[in-house]
Each structure stands twice: as structure tokens, then as C-alpha cells.
Amino acid sequence: MSTEIIKNELLGESYYSIDHPSGLKIFVYPKENYESSYAVFGTRYGSIDVCFRADGQQDFITVPEGIAHFLEHKLFESEELDAFARYAKTGASANAYTSFDRTCYLFTCTGNFKDSFEILLDFVQSPYFTEETVAKEQGIIGQELTMYKDIPEMEVFYNMLRAMYSVHPVRIDIGGTVESISEITAQRLYDCYNTFYNPSNMALAVAGNVTPEAVLEVADRLLKSKEPVTIERRFFPEPPQVCTDYTQQTFNIATPLFSLGYKETYSEPERSLKEIMVTSMLLEIIAGNTSVLYERLLKDELINTEFSAEYFTGYGYAACIFSGESSDPKRVRECINEEIARLRREGITDEQFEVARRKYYGRVITCFNEVDDIANSLIVSHFQKIPLFEEFDLLPGITKSDIEARLEATLREEYSSLSVVI
């Protein structure tokens, strides 16, 4: 077992990066004067992983859409007490989530850390699936998926993804569909579990009122070693064109919702950290709450303070997305395109660049105040093969020219889709 202490002089903080004999990467980030502790056990396995092959497999395997999310639900169960019932006895607050590219199990507590940590390591490593329990869960998750269809905020987002993407599985709801989950069997769950829930494809992060000694005392006892696995994910190259530039759905709501996405295509599946940072700053300049566009849209009552912009990116997909509420989403789209064209024509000012740079820096710093943000960032940075503190190293070297070059390369109107719920 090897342990490395990684420090950041600017923050005056450090964390432990541990290569455990089980093959698992463990991160421990002690925070002095914090009462709470937060632990997250994650696997690089999400809803887009529907076609893959592991060591020794000649052909790619295709699995039902939504199986990663289904597996997350099932893992909390056991032949005896489920994990939530066990956590109720320790007083910890536990949860889990499946995203497009990862699944994570977590808890937070202010006491009984050891007992809660033991539960986390135990149930994540102890799958229990039968055809009977799978059939029962299909009914439960089927109802959940039907319920999600009644949530306009979710529908407007997924409708936008389906409008943009024709090939990549990011266009499919994370939970799949009622039809796709009906194809899930206990054996398929075990196949996916044994592939993706391997220590070499996972990571564990703990932050807050903890020490590496306390974490390792439990980890050494409970972590199970497995032969490392190499997983090849199928890359779904997308055509640059969108499926449709506009999609609309009707809900019983007071104000229309919208999601406007500008699709990007690449020959490589993943973006660099610098590209992500530069794009995030560009979106701040275009539509941040101190931008010309934001103030004009507010003044004209075309948006409210729910308006936001984000860079949505993962394995094989990337898009700049503007979302919010508006009485006239089509006019908002026109205004965004006009502002993008104006910035290309007139350029970005030094003041705009400096404001965006400082705001980005402030957001990064703020993340290190919350133990859940720290632990989840450690998991994400590990899966992306990006050191946690690298943003601090890259930020001083980002220039206005970088932002302007990115503006020229992205946010093309012809590759955009507007999703509206009216």
C-alpha cells in the first residue's frame, strides 16, 4: 500500500491519496474543526454504459437502457435488513445516485462514523439479486419512471437531449424506459456488477472529521480484492447535425420552461480540463448574472433569476446549455444568438474576461468549504484522470485569447436545439 500527501499551498490544505492492496483508490480529506463526515463510494459506471466489453470478451455486450440505475436501487437490498434500515440505527443520512457516467453511494454523519462506514463498504460489495426481487423492482422503478414523465423540469431537459443526439445513449433517460427495464434479469445485473464494480474501476473518498487511520482500519478489514479489469466502452461518434432544432411539450404549468443546447462533436471522447474551464468562463461572459445579455433579458421580462448556463460534458458528448423560465423562449433563443454573434464581432473586453476569471476562481474556492463537494470532486477528478487541485495550476495561464478562440469554435446556431414546455 502506498500513500501520497497532496498539498495545495494556496488553500493551505492537503489530502491523502492511497493505493489500497485491494486495488481500490482511496482519498481522505481531513477538515479541521468540522463536526460532520461524508463518505462516497463510486464506480465509473453510468447510464451511457450500455455497450462495452471487458477482459477476455471478443464482442461488445449490449445491455438494457437504465440497468445502471436499476442496479443502484437493488444494491441497497440484502437477504436481511436493507442498507437504509441499517443506517437508521447509526443515525447517518444515506443516499445514492446514478448519473450519465457514474454511480455513487454515500452517507453523511456527525457521529458513529465507523459503524456507518462499515455499512457502506459492506453493502456495496455484497450484491443480492433474485428473479423475484428483480421483478418486484421492475414494478417500483416502472412507477418511478412514469412519475418522472410528470416532472416538466426533467422532460424539458431530456427532450432537448433527444432533439440534439441521434446516436449517443446520453439521449436516453438515466432510468431507461418501462420497456427497457423489463428486459433486466438477475443474471444481467450480476454481469454488470462483476464488470463495473471492480476496485480498479472504483474509488472511495472521505472528507470532514476523519483521519486516514480511521478510514484504513475499516477498509483493511472489509475491502475485497479482485483481479483488475480493463473495460472498453463503445464510443458513439455523433454527426454534427441535430435531430430537430425545436421540440415542444404541453404541461399544466404557469410559465413556459426551456432548455437550449448547442451540440458539439469530437473525434475524441473526452474534453480536457482546460477546455472545460475555458468554456465555463465563456458561458459566464455570455449569460452570467453580470452579463449584458442577462440584464437585458431581465429588463425585458423574458427571463427570471432561474436562468442559467452550463457546460454539459462527459464521455462522447458535450453541449453548452441555457435553461430557465420564459414567456417567450423563442425570443430568448434569438437574443442569445444575437449576443454570441455580437461577441464574435466586437470581441471580449478585458473587464469581461477578468470578471469571469474571478467568478470561476471563487466557485472553485467555495467548493472546498463543503465536505460533500470535496468528496464528490475527488471521485469525479479521479475518474476523469485529473488531479483535484489542477484547476488552480491552470487558471493563471488561461487568457482572453483562449476564451475568444473557444467562442469561434463552439455555440453554432445551426447545431442548436430548443426544447420548450408550455
Closest CA to 293 of 327, 334, 264, 252: 334
Q: Is the pLDDT of residue 411 over 80?
A: yes
CB burial of residue 227 (10 Å; 0-12, 13-18, 19+): exposed
Instruction: Give the model confidence (pLDDT) of 183-207 as tens digits.
Output: 999 999 999 999 999 999 999 999 9
Domain 2-233, second-level architecture: 2-Layer Sandwich (3.30)
CATH code 3.30.830.10 region(s) in the chain: 2-233, 246-421
Q: Of residues 72, 77, 275, 325, which has the active-site annotation?
A: 72
CA dihedral defined by 342, 347, 351, 354, rounded to 10 degrees? 110
- CATH number 3.30.830.10 given to 246-421: yes
Instruction: Give the model confidence (pLDDT) of 23-45 as tens digits.
Output: 999 999 999 889 999 999 999 99
Per-residue confidence (pLDDT) for residue 269, from 0 to 100: 83
Count the Cβ atoms, other than its own, within 10 Å of residue 273.
17
Identify whether 183 is a catalytic site residue: no
Please state, in angstroms and rounded to a whole number, the distance separating the CA atoms of residues 64 and 272. Answer: 30
Buried b (16+ CB within 10 A) or exposed e, 177-205: ebebbeebebebbeebbebbbbbebbbbb
Instruction: Give the model confidence (pLDDT) of 99-131 as tens digits.
Output: 999 999 999 999 899 999 999 999 999 999 999
Predicted TM-score (pTM) of this structure: 0.94
Q: Is the CB of residue 258 less than 8 Å from the CB of residue 326? A: yes
